[in-house]
Structure 1
Amino acid sequence: MRRIDPEAVREHFENLSDEQLRAQNEADISRADAEYEEFVAAYQIGECYLCGKSFKTISKSSPCVHWLLRQCKFKKKDFPLVYEKFGYVQIAAFVRWVANQERFLSSINDLADEKGDRKILEYTVKWKNIEWTFDCSKNDYEGHGGTHSNFPHFHFQMRIDSKPFINFGDFHIPFSEEDLFHLDLAQALPDSFHHWFGKGGVGMQDAAEVSPEDIIEYTEHTDNHDEATYRLQTMIMAGETPFSGEQLQAMFEESKRTGATLASLARKYLPDAESINTVVSPADSVPTIARRSERKRR
């Protein structure tokens, strides 16, 4: 399998002008957006944009990644047919796009600070009653292992109604050349290259990179915790003048009427507060990353 030379790629891009870089980025984004819009149009009518068939169909002679939605009679033994045709990047993009159709951002827990130190990939995606988890340790990426795993690979888990369907240890899934192109660049040149799944594949890491001020100002309150992306906890310390019941009632009523967060309204209704501090964290409904324990090599 061919592997790229990251330094050669870096030198290539450094030799491009700003205008050439901008044109290439715009072309890449335009192409990705067009593919995503094609996906959305098909998804809305219950069809797969890749094979053009209903999610409920399965054809062993024409494997497709939509089998992972389990709307058809897909079985664990069929999974090699999928990953032999579609690499990590294609599989991951599809399930991320699907998940964001149901619940944007918070259906994908790819938070960097929750990823293990020895992991290249470790994140969980939830769609309806299904959870998919992608996992790749540094040993997996480097191809260290026995004869059955001495190549760059990743592991995959699938749960349906929280019950096992595919386990991490069932398959050692080889990365394709396309996969390794993206991973090698991201690992060797993290400040210059970052693989992105497009606007439809964003997850909680993207949500975490939004400034806390913008989250407080522009997000809306919801009583349905399953729909939440963030959890806002605001601590208010009164100054010399106590808060009045009218102030608090007006603040709560506006929040209920407009959806504005209490954190943003506190500054408006409680100007005499000594301090107003808000802690922003992922919502409780964000899926927990399923963990895979590496076997210790003797």
Structure 2
Amino acid sequence: MNPYKKQDLRKFIDSFSKEEIERENREQQEGNEKVYKDFLTNLKNGKCFICGEKMEDFITSKPCFHWFTYPKGVKKKYFKKYLENPIGFFRIDSYFRWLANTEKPLGNINDLKDETSNSSFLETTYKYKNIEWAFSIGHTDIEGHENSTVGEKPHYHLQMKVNDRIFLKFNDYHIPFSDEDLFTIELYEQASDRVIITNSYGHGMSSFENEENLELFDDAMTITDDFKNASFNRQTMIQAPEGETISGELIQKALEESKRTKKPIGKIMERLMKGAKITTILSPGDGVPKMSKRNGKK
């Protein structure tokens, strides 16, 4: 069981003044920015920002997050001892998110709540180069499996694929949460109305489920012919103002501008035909990785 369940974390939050909270948030944001810049600089130079070794190097005596990028020489057996101890769920989650977003922002991270199983506390799938990682946390995993010889402590499950072949299976390991993880989880459980857990520089497709973001996404979109790797599908229905029709000439003009500027036709028609009723439907594109599911949770 999570030991922080016995503590009143809402009272803990209330013990801080507004000024203290604002200062902590500001310092946290500044710290995140510094670490992220360090991550990008090292990655560009082929180095791991955590251990300082080359990303392509595997050293058995130096367990590190970059082992999950499948460096030459890494084997499944080396993960057993590494994952028997807490490595920090929220830390490795951020690491996967940062890597995924260096290739394709948002679209390489499927953390859609709509695709998360009802029996799960959390499910996320990430893609980076030829690698796919996926987390699965059932509601019973959060508490630990009582009277069980395996997974009795609060834990989570991880799957890793390389070239579409499973390298680490979900049920290979019951990875224990760190103390920091357990505090964060219980803080959110007790005070989700007071606490926001964000993914600095690691936003995924769940951002798309926030209606406040839809207009921002729509304005920033450009069209592509590479449908297989597209992050979003955009469908637009255009209805001319009452008593008017949409001429073929206007549609052709919009098509030509769209081809030239890469802007969606619907956005162009919205400008060219004032008063038209335009309805846009956005949905995840074919380039978003499918959510990997854990069967037979235990």
Q: TM-score, normalised by structure 2?
A: 0.91
Q: Which amino acid aligns with 2:192?
A: P
Higher relative contact order (CA 8 A, sep 6+): 2
Tell me by how many angstroms 1:230 deviates: 2.0
| Displacement of 1:295 | 4.4
Deviant stretches of 4+, over 6 Å: none
Cα RMSD, aligned residues only: 2.1
Q: Give the aligned partner of residue 171 of structure 1.
A: 173
- Preserved contact between residue 154 and residue 174 of structure 1 (Cα < 8 Å): yes
DSSP 3-state at the match of 2:279: strand
100-109 or 114-123: bigger deviation: 114-123
Give the whole-Å Cα distance in 2 for the aligned partners of 1:6 and 1:262. Answer: 56
Structure 1 residue 272: Cα displacement: 5.5
Residues 2 and 232 from structure 1, CA distance in 2 versus in 1: closer, same or farther, beyond 3 angstroms? Answer: closer
Give the C-alpha shift of residue 215 in structure 1. 2.5
Distance 1:80 1:88, change over 3 A: farther
Show the counterpart of 1:113: 114
Q: In structure 2, what is the Cα distance between the partners aligned to 1:8 and 1:85?
A: 24
CA distance in 2, matches of 1:59, 1:94: 19
**How far has the Cα of 1:149 moved from its partner?**
1.3
Runs of 5+ consecutive residues of structure 1 not aligned to the other structure: none
SS in 1 for 2:124: strand
Which shifted more, 80-89 or 173-182? 80-89
Q: Deviations over 1:162-183 (max 9, x none)?
A: 1111111111111111111111
- Inter-partner Cα distance in structure 1 for 2:175 and 2:86: 11
1:183-222 residue pairs with structure 2 within 5 A? 183-199=185-201, 201-209=202-210, 210-222=212-224
| C-alpha distance in 1 between matches for 2:216 and 2:137 | 33
2: distance between equivalents of 1:293 and 1:85?
24
Q: Tell me if structure 1 keeps the 8 A contact 2:88–2:177.
A: yes
TM alignment of 1:11-30, pairs within 5 A: 11-30=11-30
Number of residue pairs the alignment of both structures matches: 294
CA displacement at 1:92 relative to structure 2: 1.6
Matches within 5 A, 1:218-237: 218-237=220-239
The structural deviation recorded for 1:2 is: 7.6
In structure 2, the partner of 1:243 is: 246
Q: Tell me the residue number matched to 1:282.
A: 284
Q: Deviation per CA, 1:174-199, whole angstroms, max 9, x where unpaired?
A: 11111111112122222222333312
Code of the aligned partner of 1:262: I
Deviation at 1:252, TM superposition (A): 1.5
Change (3 A) 1:2 1:286: closer
Deviation at 1:102, TM superposition (A): 0.8
Give the structure-1-normalised TM-score. Answer: 0.91
Match of 1:73 in 2: 73
Q: Which SS does the other structure have where 1:276 is aligned?
A: strand
